[in-house]
Structure formats: C-alpha cells, structure tokens
C-alpha cells in the first residue's frame, strides 16, 4: 500500500481521488488551456511571430542572389574587413550569408520600416543571434528562411553565431545598423 507495494484495490482506477488533488488538477487544466490559447492569440494580435516561409536552395544559388543584392544596394564599405554596407529600400529584400566564420555583408536599415531577410548557411549550421534585440534564429544549409524584421530602435546591432560551428565559432560576428 505504500508507493513501493501493490495498491489496495486490485484495479487501481477504482481507488478514490483526494479532494486537494481534484482542486489542483482543475487549476492546472485551466492553466494549460490559457497557455494553449496564448500562442494562437499572439499570432492574431502580437507583432513577434517567426515566419515559416522556407525554400530549398543551394549555397551557390544563395550566394549569387546575395551578391546581386550587394551589388545593387551597397552604399559604402566599412570595418576592419572592409565589408560592403548594404542599404536596401524599405520593404525590400535583405540577404545575409552565414558561413565559417562570419556573417556577410553589413546591413543598414531604417527604423520603423520592414525588410524581408533571407537567411541561409553556406556550410554548417549556424545561429543568427541579433543583439541586443535578443532575436535568435537557427540557420541551416540548403534551406532559405525568409523572415520580416521591423526594427523599433536606432543603433548598432551585432549578429552573433549562437550555434556551435567548429573551432572559429567565437569569431563569427556581423553587424546591422539601424538609422532614422
């Protein structure tokens, strides 16, 4: 009759339920319903719902389209690596390559405008971690993930890799500027 020995009733579902348990099970069940409701509710009313728009791609195809985007919208070069700073028009497409071990190119956005980000990896899996906004998205090879971002504050943002990608993982960093 203890937890270590067979129940008193031969068939355990005939044993009675304690009232405290009934109260708690009811509370917990309702709480589960509330939490189940919150996710679809946020899809309707919230502004942070990660897109699932995904295409199969190849590293070559994705790199070629990124290069075309860079060629079209580069406004200057900057930083120790002299990377292009790409400023696509509001509402436009932004391409960012994740590879061993950097994010390319640098992006400049306008606050309050929306941009369609195309994310894919050239090689292994990476993590797109936008700081300090703290938005974290998995980036995998051969899939192109299209996510719309709307920056809500100006400043210099970093993109840090937060999926382990080998010995240079901690060197993998990129930049996004948000201006007025």
Phi, psi of 73 (to 5 degrees): -120, 10
Contact pattern for another protein over residues 106 through 145, marking x by CB under 8 A: --------x----x---xxx-x-xxxxxxxxxx-xxxxxx
C-alpha distances (whole Å) from 45 to each of 31, 41, 76 are: 20, 6, 38
Query: Would you put residue 163 in left (φ > 0), alpha (ψ -120 to 50) or beta?
Result: beta
- How many residues line the site for another protein (CB under 8 A)? 91
How far is Cα 51 from Cα 140, in angstroms, rounded to an integer?
A: 15
CB of 116 to another protein, least distance (A): 10
Q: Is 18 in the site for another protein (CB under 8 A)?
A: yes
How far is Cα 172 from Cα 136, in angstroms, rounded to an integer?
A: 15
25-54 residues in contact with another protein (CB under 8 A) are: 25, 27-29, 31-33, 35-36, 38-40, 42-43, 46-54
List 89, 152, 155, 179, residue binding another protein (CB under 8 A): 152
Q: Is 79 in the site for another protein (CB under 8 A)?
A: yes
CB of 12 to another protein, least distance (A): 4
């Amino acid at each position: 009759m203890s937890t270590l020995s067979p129940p008193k009733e031969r068939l355990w579902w005939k044993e009675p339920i304690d009232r405290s348990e009934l109260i708690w099970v009811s509370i917990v069940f309702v709480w589960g319903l509330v939490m189940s409701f919150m996710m679809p509710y946020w899809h309707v009313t919230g502004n942070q719902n990660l897109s699932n728009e995904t295409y199969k791609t190849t590293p070559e195809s994705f790199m070629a389209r990124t290069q075309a985007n860079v060629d079209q919208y580069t406004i200057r070069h900057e930083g120790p690596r002299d990377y292009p700073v790409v400023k696509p028009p509001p509402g436009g497409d932004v391409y960012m390559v994740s590879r061993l071990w950097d994010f390319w190119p640098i992006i400049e956005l306008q606050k309050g405008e929306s941009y369609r980000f195309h994310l894919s990896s050239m090689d292994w899996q990476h993590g797109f971690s936008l700081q300090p906004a703290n938005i974290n998205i998995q980036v995998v090879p051969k899939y192109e993930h299209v996510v719309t971002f709307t920056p809500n504050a100006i400043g210099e943002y970093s993109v840090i890799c937060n999926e382990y990608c080998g010995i240079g993982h901690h060197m993998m960093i990129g930049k996004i500027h948000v201006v007025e």
